Amino acid sequence: MFRPTQSLTNLQITMHSRLFLPLTILFLICLSFSNGTKILALKEAIDQKKVTSKIVGYSGSPHYSQPAKIQVANNTNEKIAVKIVNGQKLVSDPEGVQDLIVVKNEMIVLAAKETKEVILHAMCIQHNNSGPNKSTSYELGAIAEGPMKSLTKEIQKRSDYNTLGQYSIWTISDDEDLSTIAGYDEATADHYLI
């Protein structure tokens, strides 16, 4: 027990300081969502007409990193949080352009009537189709399951928003041979052999 006449050692002060900032940030995040902010999946928010969205190709990034951007508009008079889940498929229009799969969870918090634009971490899932560009539009597709879902989670965990992650995706989406991911650091590439 700490008594006012005792002094804290440098180690105790350092430990308290290291815990203070993360705990304060966690408290503020919890507080911001405890005031009635609703968190909805994007599809659910669209179906309930709480938000509208527009997803298009983003040409400021390669097809295996951040190939799409989404604009989400809050149609309500209250704060809302919209989540886009890892594994969400995006279906392209026109058909000859690659569909995408989101490989990083996104949370978009919108004030009443606010509109935001976010660039999405996603990867292509049709190797032989062309890459997206700013004239490509996307609609929400299904959520990935099984090995593809496991792979997209692993890509997010390892932050492999690169060609290694993309070629690993194609081994599942296009049933390509595992040798297509050869040529990378063996220990890293072996990690994706599911």
Model pLDDT, residue 177:
77
pLDDT values of the chain reduced to their tens digit, one per residue, 194 residues: 444 444 445 444 454 555 665 565 655 555 455 456 889 999 999 999 999 999 999 988 888 899 999 999 999 999 999 999 999 999 999 889 999 999 999 999 999 999 999 999 999 999 999 989 999 999 999 999 999 999 999 999 999 999 989 999 999 998 887 766 655 555 665 666 55
CB neighbour list of residue 152: distance below 8 Å, 6 or more residues apart = 86, 87, 101, 102, 103, 144, 169
Model pLDDT, residue 11:
45
Show the tokens assigned to 170.
Answer: 């194609």
Q: Which residues pair with 69 in a beta bridge?
A: 56, 119
Helix (H) or strand (E) holding 131: none
How far from 161 is each of 1, 61, 65, 76, CA to CA, in Å? 49, 11, 5, 34
Task: With H, G, I as helix, E, B as strand and everything else as coil, classify residue 66.
Answer: coil
Model pLDDT, residue 29:
56
Model pLDDT, residue 2:
44
